[in-house]
Amino acid sequence: MRDYFFLAFNNLKRRKLRAWLTMIGIFIGIAAVVALISLGQGLQGAIEDQFEKIGSDKIMIYPGSLFQFGSSTSDSLKLTSKDLEFVKNMKEVENVVGYVSKIGRVSYKEEFNVGYIGGIDPKDIDFWQREFDYLNVAEGNVFDKGEKYKAVVGSNYYSGNIFEKEISVGSKIYIEGQEFRVIGITKKTGDPNDDSTIYIPKETLKEIMNLGDEESILEIKIAEGLNPEKVAEKIKKDLRKFRGEKEGQETFTVQTFEQLLESFSSIFGIVQAVLIGIAAISLFVGGIGIMNTMYTAVLERTKEIGTMKAVGAKNSDVLQIFLFESGLLGLTGGALGIALGVGLGKLTEYIAKIGLGTNLLQARFPWYLIVGALTFSFLIGTLSGVFPAMQASKLKPADALRYE
């Protein structure tokens, strides 16, 4: 086996340029697969970590479906304070808070921007901070009950990622033409949306945007010891009756955080499958390239094959020599591809952290990804060399020695 390996290695070494050109398709494909899977797993892992921090005893209710959330202004799709009070009075619910989120026009020192404005009831801030790790300030304070035109801005406003001039505690900003004084800067979460949101009292938001009675989302903490899925089903059933809606025609969605995580995981899986499918095309092309190279090697080394057979080499010996050579091409291309994929993954993570200000996009490289990519590239190389190797092993010594 060692002789087969060194013979294959020396044959590739003699044809360096051809070997490198042959491996291009393999290592590009492997690099793409490794980078995409590592980023997908990193992103999914970061989101799972966030959900674990929040806990499994949380349920959310939002208007419409997951894909309609925040996009409809229809009265029938709105949640109201009546819905909030109804859910709050259920014995299975320990607490529930409402949140309003709208897109508004923000200006600061003659600069204008359109961003998310979040409305939170001051009495609910402690619950948000304790249960959802939300609206925690790095500098300044949050608004208290009775404070109307005070704002807490996301860290991206402070870092200068939104306006050229940084917003700090004490700055004055305008939301929909109304002046607000900034009293706090939130801690950086790594979520671009949260870090770019401006938080103001809920009733103030409704006033300046003429919203009326409306809740964008209801966040629920269920009573201790209960099953979240069963509670979610009961809330859905009771709230449907309260709103006078028929089963299957609900204008709202009740979802546990575990179900929301499953939805994200399904979406990630589909996206990753499509991207890996595209990368697999490069692997297929790489396999064809190895096959072509090995067929050419058989033709070039026909006399060499005849000499080996003339001095006693068996068909199986010739077959294994060429299989080792094609497998080595795949293995080397895979190793280079893994190194390139790790580099691309880490580069993307760095760009996301520095350029986008998010820690959610992380590259993770579990051992099974590295071993799987290396094994797969070796198999691609070996299988691509099967037919050329079989052709070489079947050559007759006399015909091979006479070949010109």
Of 248, 237, 207, 201, residue with least CA distance to 99: 201
State pTM to two decimals. Answer: 0.66
| Burial class for 396, CB neighbours closer than 10 Å (0-12, 13-18, 19+) | exposed
Q: What is the pLDDT of residue 71?
A: 42
Q: What is the pLDDT of residue 255?
A: 85
Q: What is the pLDDT of residue 355?
A: 66
Alpha helices in 55-150 (DSSP H): 81-88, 125-132
Q: Which residues of 59-96 are buried (b: 16+ CB within 10 A; e: fewer)?
A: bbbbbbeeeebeeeeeeebbbeeebbebbeebebbeeb
| DSSP 8-state symbol, 355 | I
Query: How far apart are alpha carbons 330 and 324 in whole angstroms?
Result: 10
Tokens for 360? 């959610």
Q: What is the pLDDT of residue 70?
A: 46
Query: How far apart are alpha carbons 315 and 169 in whole angstroms?
Result: 81
| DSSP 8-state symbol, 216 | S
Query: How far apart are alpha carbons 279 and 294 in whole angstroms?
Result: 23
Backbone angles phi, psi at 199, to 5 degrees: -105, 130
SS3 assignment, position 82: helix
Q: What is the pLDDT of residue 4?
A: 64
Residues 101, 93 contacting (CB under 8 angstroms): no
Angle at 67 between CA 63 and CA 69, to 5 degrees: 30
Query: How far apart are alpha carbons 215 and 206 in whole angstroms?
Result: 10
Query: How far apart are alpha carbons 201 and 204 in whole angstroms?
Result: 5
Query: How far apart are alpha carbons 256 and 238 in whole angstroms?
Result: 16
Q: What is the pLDDT of residue 1?
A: 67
- Three-state helix/strand/coil letters over 143-165: CCCCCCCEEEECHHHHCCCCCCC
Query: How far apart are alpha carbons 79 and 71 in whole angstroms?
Result: 13
Q: Mean pLDDT by 10-residue block, N- to C-terminus, for the chain (404 residues)?
A: 67 70 78 83 74 75 64 63 90 90 89 89 87 84 88 84 83 91 87 85 91 89 86 90 86 82 74 75 75 72 72 75 79 87 87 70 83 84 76 66 55
Rg, Å, the chain Cα set = 31
Backbone angles phi, psi at 59, to 5 degrees: -135, 145
Tokens for 76? 């029938």
| DSSP 8-state symbol, 215 | B
Tokens for 210? 């003429």
CA distances from 130 to 64, 91, 125, 231, 357 (A): 28, 21, 9, 22, 24
Query: How far apart are alpha carbons 49 and 42 in whole angstroms?
Result: 10
